[in-house]
Amino acid sequence: MTPPPDPPNPPSPPPLTLDRLTDELLRLAPGLDREQAAAVLRKAYRAGLAHGRREHAEGLEHGGW
């Protein structure tokens, strides 16, 4: 007897875009306008990118493990 087939994978969520994240931030913080919300997201992205680069550089300096 053959095993039952695997269930289908759930559909992938739509990709995150600046527009979608801005809409979500506006729902959470309705006092912001669209430009302010997008500016906050851009700052957060740049800060996260810089943090990741610093962590990567520190890991290279210490040889990983």
The whole domain housing 46 covers 32-65
- Is 13 a domain residue? no
- Is 51 a domain residue? yes
**How does pLDDT run across 10-35, given as a tens digit for each residue?**
888 888 999 999 999 999 999 999 99
**How does pLDDT run across 41-59, given as a tens digit for each residue?**
999 999 999 999 999 988 8
Distances (CA, A) of 51 to 19, 39, 42, 43, 44: 23, 18, 14, 12, 10
CB 28 within 8 A of CB 40: no
- Is 10 a domain residue? no
How many domains does the chain contain in total?
A: 1
- Is 4 a domain residue? no
Please say if the pLDDT value at position 4 is more than 80: yes
pLDDT, residue 61, reads: 78
